């Protein structure tokens, strides 16, 4: 898996957006990926044995040559995955509508209607209707008083995929975005379990993005969620986000940890290994004090949560100390 | 008059206190140390600004050691951290140098 950033521009300002640390530091004169660079990204996917093109932003559909990007990816028999807010130009929507649903997955991240103006929500709704079964609705939890049930009626009326991809907003290393603090996880866990029960009655299952942890659910809720067919996973791996300047990062929240250059020789397994190696020391810890000695983490059943949230627990204390030399050498 | 050595936490060192251990990471070298027992206690006390004059009696109290044993333990831990470059010796201290500084 690797995500290709094709646009540094977005037409939404979601408070939880975790790309700020990286995209705000990009060159202002370059907002979109050049077509020739896109071809180089496709070469990277080919030599990495990846059959999906996952387009990310900003808002990727704002790329002025979005249909051309899709055409080039399809020419290489790639399946298309688009991460969008649903506020896309008509030509981008038409281009996605023309793709067979089996070859196209459009993850439409949508906020609660109460947070958007009516026109914005209606545009998103219209997009979802037109995408139909190509659309998978995504919802990002970034505060504890969230109300995602509106998604169920949207799924039913638009006949999109009977699933909701849940994300739990994680901090950028700068902490300059809204996110769920680990202390709030158990409360979120209860509400997610409740959503899973309601969704199951409508034949809708939940899928979990990275960053969820096992202990945010009670054993009973966890059994219920699994029993309802939810795709539960306690993951935190190098996603490999590739920006428009050809820098590869572990993932956007960890962009300040550093990047690796995309060269004509590098492939995804090598990059993933490099990021796993550089982040290994931090992975002993987790988002909670108890993670480093948790049996589920030790057994590899839980990652210990988002690495960005974990690293934000670390601090440098510039202590200094004067010690008589006989104390040092005794 | 005895020589007094000025030690400081290496700039690339970051740490976190977990339930049963303190984890120390060297950001540049990518190394990890898990501190337990006396090491973790000494790290805790240093990080809140305690001086060696205060740490040694605390070690003696917490681990039921004689003052001499506590001094030995403290020196041993400090030597180990110096070898690992967790702390750096940055020269001799002036006479007027405070015994410990911390800017958490």
CB A253 within 8 A of CB A172: yes
Measured in Å, how far apart are chain B's first and last C-alpha atoms? 32
pLDDT at B102: 39
Per-residue pLDDT reduced to its tens digit, A289-307: 999 999 999 999 999 999 9
Residue A271 to residues A117, A282, A312: CA-CA distances in angstroms? 41, 18, 23
- Name the nearest CA neighbour of B4 among B96, B102, B103: B96
Per-residue pLDDT reduced to its tens digit, A127-156: 999 999 999 999 999 999 999 999 999 999
- Name the nearest CA neighbour of A205 among A221, A218, A192: A192
Minimal CA separation from B13 to chain A, in Å? 6
Q: Which of B15, B25, B72 is opposite residue A330, by nearest beta carbon?
A: B72
Calculate what percentage of chain A has a pLDDT beyond 90. Answer: 86
Q: In A, which residues are within 8 Å of B40 by CB distance?
A: none
pLDDT at A297: 94
Return the H-helix or E-strand segment holding A128: helix A118-131
Q: Could you list the beta-strand ranges (E) of A99-239.
A: 104-109, 135-141, 163-168, 205-208
| ipTM of the shown complex | 0.86
Q: In B, which residues are within 8 Å of A321 by CB distance?
A: 6-8, 46, 51-52, 87, 99-100
Cβ under 8 Å to B: A residues 8-37: none
Enter the pTM of the model.
0.91
Residues of chain B with pLDDT under 70: 1-2, 92-104
- Name the nearest CA neighbour of A6 among A45, A27, A34: A34
pLDDT at A249: 96
Looking only at the bridges linking them, the beta strands covering A3-5 and A241-242 are: parallel
Per-residue pLDDT reduced to its tens digit, A231-275: 888 889 999 999 999 999 999 999 999 999 999 999 999 999 999
Helix (H, G, I), strand (E, B) or coil at A230: coil
Per-residue pLDDT reduced to its tens digit, A11-57: 999 999 988 777 765 555 689 999 999 999 999 999 999 999 999 99
Per the prediction, chain A carries an average pLDDT of 93
Instruction: Note whether A318 contacts B9, CB cutoff 8 Å.
Output: yes
Instruction: Note whether B5 contacts A278, CB cutoff 8 Å.
Output: no
Instruction: Note whether A330 contacts B13, CB cutoff 8 Å.
Output: no
Q: Which of B25, B78, B101 is opposite residue A323, by nearest beta carbon?
A: B78
Calculate what percentage of chain A has a pLDDT beyond 70. Answer: 96
Question: Rg of chain B over CA atoms, in angstroms?
Answer: 14
Per-residue pLDDT reduced to its tens digit, A169-203: 999 999 899 999 999 999 999 999 999 999 999 99
Minimal CA separation from A145 to chain B, in Å? 29
Minimal CA separation from B39 to chain A, in Å? 15
Q: In A, which residues are within 8 Å of B104 by CB distance?
A: 317
Residue B92 to residues A326, B5, B74: CA-CA distances in angstroms? 13, 5, 19
Return the H-helix or E-strand segment holding A281: helix A268-283
pLDDT at B90: 76
Both tokens of residue A204? 């809708």
């Amino acid at each position: 898996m690797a995500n290709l950033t094709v646009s540094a521009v977005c037409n939404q300002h979601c408070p939880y957006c975790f790309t700020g640390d990286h995209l705000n530091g990009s060159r202002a004169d370059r907002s979109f990926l050049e077509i020739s660079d896109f071809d180089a990204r496709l070469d990277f996917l080919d030599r990495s044995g990846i059959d999906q093109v996952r387009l990310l932003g900003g808002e990727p559909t704002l790329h002025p040559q979005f249909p051309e990007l899709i055409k080039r990816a399809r020419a290489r028999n790639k399946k298309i995955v688009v991460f969008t807010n649903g506020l896309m130009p008509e030509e981008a929507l038409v281009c996605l509508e023309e793709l067979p649903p089996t070859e196209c997955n459009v993850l439409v991240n949508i906020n609660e209607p109460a947070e958007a103006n009516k026109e914005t929500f209606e545009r998103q709704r219209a997009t979802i209707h037109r995408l139909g079964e190509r659309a998978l609705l995504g919802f990002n939890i970034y505060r504890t008083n969230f109300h995602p049930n509106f998604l169920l009626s949207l799924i039913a009326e638009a006949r999109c995929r009977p699933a909701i991809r849940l994300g739990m907003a994680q901090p950028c290393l700068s902490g300059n975005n809204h996110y769920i603090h680990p202390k709030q996880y158990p409360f979120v866990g209860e509400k997610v379990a409740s959503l899973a029960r309601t969704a199951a009655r409508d034949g809708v299952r939940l899928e979990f993005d990275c960053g969820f942890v096992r202990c945010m659910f009670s054993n009973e809720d966890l059994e219920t969620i699994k029993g309802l067919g939810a795709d539960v996973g306690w993951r935190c791996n190098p996603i490999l986000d590739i920006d428009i300047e050809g820098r590869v990062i572990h993932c956007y929240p960890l962009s300040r940890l550093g990047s690796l250059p995309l060269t004509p020789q590098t492939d995804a397994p090598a990059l993933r290994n490099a990021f796993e190696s550089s982040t290994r020391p931090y992975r002993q810890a987790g988002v909670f004090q108890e993670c480093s000695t948790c049996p589920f983490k030790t057994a590899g059943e839980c990652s210990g949560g988002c690495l960005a949230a974990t690293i934000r627990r670390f601090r440098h204390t510039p202590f200094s100390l004067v010690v008589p030399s006989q104390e040092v050498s005794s | 008059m005895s020589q007094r050595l000025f030690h400081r936490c290496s700039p690339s060192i970051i740490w976190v206190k977990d339930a049963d251990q303190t984890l120390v990471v060297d950001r540049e070298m990518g190394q990890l140390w898990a501190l337990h027992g006396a090491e973790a206690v000494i790290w805790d006390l240093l990080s809140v600004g305690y001086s060696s004059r205060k740490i040694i009696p605390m070690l003696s109290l917490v681990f039921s050691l004689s003052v001499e044993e506590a001094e030995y333990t403290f020196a041993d831990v400090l030597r180990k951290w110096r070898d690992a470059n967790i702390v750096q010796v940055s020269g001799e201290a002036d006479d007027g140098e405070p015994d410990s500084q911390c800017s958490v």
